Amino acid sequence: MPNEQTLRAQVRDFVDTVLLPLEGRYLNEPWAAVVGALDGARAEARARGLWAPHLPVAMGGCGLSLLDFAAVSEELGRTPIGHYALNCQAPDIGNMELLHAHGSVAQRKQWLGPLARGEIRSCFAMTEPERAGSNPTWLEARAERDGDDYVISGHKWFTSAADGAAFAIVMAVTDALAPPHKRASQVIVPTTTPGYSLVRNIKVMGDAGEGYATHGEVRFDKCRVPVTNRIGDEGEGFTLAQARLGPGRIHHCMRWMGICERALDLTCRHAATRELSPGVVLGTRQSVQHMIADSRAEIDAARLLILETARQIDAHGAAAARESVSTIKFFAAGVLQRVLDRAIQVHGALGMTDDTPLAYWFRHERAARIYDGADEVHKSVVARRILKGYGVVVRE
Ligand SMILES: Cc1cc2nc3c(=O)[nH]c(=O)nc-3n(C[C@H](O)[C@H](O)[C@H](O)COP(=O)(O)OP(=O)(O)OC[C@H]3O[C@@H](n4cnc5c(N)ncnc54)[C@H](O)[C@@H]3O)c2cc1C
């Protein structure tokens, strides 16, 4: 296995030479038209030994620690197709990590193996339109025991990448009378199960997407699956969701740093070449210089915080790093929004087109301040812990 620096350089070269030439097609053509070319990029990633950097070597991956994966994730984040090309895209990466850590031998064979090889895709169905997603202990979906089966009914939305997924990991209540954090379980439901339906791909900022690049509304109408499809013990759904989100937030935050670096690079290239009048480029204007300096400082600060948090998780586990994880989630999401906004401003009308990836990111990454915990929720986690040291105990 190459060391982290070598691997990072190899990933950077792969992004520059294989993915960036494909990016324009991804931004401007339907998924079905580009998926063949993306599969070609995936084959090239395997041939270069870059496949599934988050997975152990024994599973065909690179066996990276979270800290090392963070560096790779930043390189991949420079293009919207980076993580998909190396099979470490959300939500599959979270499902792979979950099954690897908590799946039974049979579940790993049936579902993790094909996921790791990139033969199938998956989705994660927790959020419901009728319930506040910010309170994941309050769910309507039910998994009722019937002999050796669960019968699952529920209505979910923002089930990312449901379109084309082979299975969903569903969060559903298995014991409504248990304490709130012990009520739900996570159960694998193959999308071929009678009663499962993808209602629609939800339009997000005007774009419903297609295939992998979608967010689905899905229904489970008395879906019958064996009890052996449950991941972990009954009532452990919330605990597993928390375990998934620690590393998951590092993945997202470092991907955002990659987006920020690319946005700043595009900003500087444009500032250096766009002439306001003959021989006078945009970069000579102080307001543009200040935008560049603000973005540089904010990206560097966010990255340091994220890497320190990844180090804490590697050393002490996700639970011990909870406050840091919440800090980076809202801080890095804010940096991402501001850096993209400045980049679009400097590009003028060009920034509003899909001739660069900026508008795509601006549309799709506004959600960064909402998914995996809204800003306000994370800020409350951080502030409550700080205030506890001053004797202030806030009860929800
Ligand atoms: C692009 C995208 C992809 C997603 N992918 C998935 C997925 O794959 N699977 C899945 O299950 N879910 C997914 N989600 C759903 C996501 O996890 C939820 O949107 C999120 O948990 C917030 O829940 P909600 O939308 O119901 O907002 P609500 O909980 O209704 O909150 C609405 C707003 O209220 C404010 N708020 C909430 N709580 C507090 C508080 N305690 N204090 C102060 N203000 C508060 C926040 O501003 C928040 O944005 C995705 C969402 C998006 C946008």
Mean pLDDT of the 18-37 span: 96
> Is residue 218 within 6 Å of ligand 1 at its C-beta?
no
| Predicted local distance difference test score (pLDDT) of residue 144 | 98
Closest CA to 137 of 181, 105, 169, 170: 181
Cβ partners under 8 Å of residue 157, min gap 6? 127, 128, 129, 202, 215, 216, 217, 218
Specify the pTM. Answer: 0.95
Residue spans in the chain of domains classed CATH 1.20.140.10 = 239-388
Pocket flag, ligand 1, residue 370 (CB < 6 Å): yes
Q: Is the pLDDT of residue 1 over 60?
A: no
CB 216 within 8 A of CB 123: yes
> What is the mean pLDDT of the segment spanning 276-285?
98
128 Cα nearest atom in ligand 1: 26
Helix and strand element counts for the chain (H, E): 13, 10
CA-nearest residue for atom 41, ligand 1, is 377
Residue 249 · residue 325 · CB < 8 Å: yes
| CA pair distance 259, 347, nearest whole angstrom | 16
Long-range contacts of residues 274-283, Cβ cutoff 8 Å, at least 24 apart = 282/346
Q: Which one-letter amino acid corresponds to residue 146?
A: D
Instruction: Please identify, in words, the CATH class of the domain defined by 122-231.
Output: mainly beta
The superfamily CATH assigns to domain 4-89 is: Acyl-CoA dehydrogenase/oxidase, N-terminal domain (1.10.540.10)
**What phi and psi values does residue 70 have, to the nearest 5 degrees?**
-55, -45
Residue minimizing CA distance to atom 36 of ligand 1: 376
CATH 1.10.540.10 boundaries in the chain: 4-89
The class (CATH top level) of 239-388 is mainly alpha
User: How big, in percent rounded to 5, are the helix, strand and coil portions of the chain?
Assistant: 55, 15, 30
pLDDT in tens, 134-145: 999 999 999 999
At 154 the pLDDT is: 98
Binned at pLDDT 50, 70 and 90, residue 2 comes out as low
316-347 pLDDT per residue, tens: 988 889 999 999 999 999 999 999 999 999 99
The reply to whether ligand 1 has any atom less than 6 angstroms from the CB of 383 is no
CA of 354 to the centre of ligand 1 (A): 27
Q: Whose CA is closest to atom 33 on ligand 1?
A: 374
pLDDT surpasses 80 at 246: no
CA 46 to centroid of ligand 1, rounded, Å: 35
pLDDT at 5: 81
Query: Which of the listed residues 134, 330, 361 should we mutate to test ligand 1's pocket, taking the one with most ligand atoms within 8 A of CB?
Result: 134
Q: Please report where in the chains the tokens 């972990």 appear, as a residue.
A: 232
Ranges for all domains in the chain classified under CATH 2.40.110.10: 122-231
Rg for the chain, CA atoms, rounded? 22
pLDDT score at 333: 98
The upper half-sphere exposure of residue 259, i.e. CA atoms within 13 Å in the direction of its Cβ, equals 33
Q: Does any ligand 1 atom lie closer than 6 A to the CB of residue 371?
A: yes
Q: Is 80 helix (H, G, I), strand (E, B) or coil?
A: coil
Q: Both tokens of residue 349? A: 């009308």
CA of 60 to the centre of ligand 1 (A): 34
